[in-house]
Structure 1
Amino acid sequence: MIELTRLNGKVFSLNALYIETVEAFPDTTITLTTGRKFIVLETEEQVRQKVNAFYQHIQVLSNPHLRGEEDEEQ
């Protein structure tokens, strides 16, 4: 889960595994795979960083081939 802030200042948690797109309209809009949308105060880049940190925490990016590395022992 990642913590985000709604436009009214209320903090909420979102399961990053369901994020399909993150766009700036100029407000940052997150669309989930379910079609539900959330508008948040964080920038597109901040959301991207939070998602990457979440993926690393749950070890989705633990496979070196998923990270784009050819050889894990280098």
Structure 2
Amino acid sequence: MIEVTKLNDKKISINAELIESVEETPDTVISFTTGKKIVVKESRQDIKNLVISYKKEIFAGILNN
């Protein structure tokens, strides 16, 4: 899970595995494989970096076992 900020300043955790696309229009819209979309304050690059960090944590846990 990664934490993002909705436009109303509420923090939410989302499942990074379900992200289908991230688009800046100019607000950042995250589309999920479920068809749901949310608008967040983070940039597209910020979301990309959060997902990369999340994946590194997951794979580090697997490799360290």
Shared fold by TM > 0.5?
A: yes
After superposition, give the CA deviation of every residue in 1:21-64 in whole Å (9 maximum; x if it has no partner). Answer: 0000000000000010010000000000000100111118x8xx
Q: Which structure's residues are more often helix, by fraction?
A: 2
Q: Measure the CA separation in 2 of the matches of 1:52 and 1:31.
A: 17
Q: Which protein has the larger Cα radius of gyration, Structure 1 or Structure 2?
A: 1
Residue 35 (structure 2) aligns with:
35
Q: Measure the CA separation in 1 of the matches of 2:8 and 2:35.
A: 22
- Aligned pair count reads 61
Q: Flag structure 1 segments of 5+ consecutive residues without an equivalent.
A: 63-74
Q: Which has the higher contact order (CA 8 A, sep 6+)?
A: 2
Q: Flag structure 2 segments of 5+ consecutive residues without an equivalent.
A: none
Q: Measure the CA separation in 2 of the matches of 1:15 and 1:59.
A: 16
Q: Which structure's residues are more often strand, by fraction?
A: 2
Runs of 4+ in 1 over 3 A off after TM superposition: none
Residue 19 (structure 1) aligns with:
19
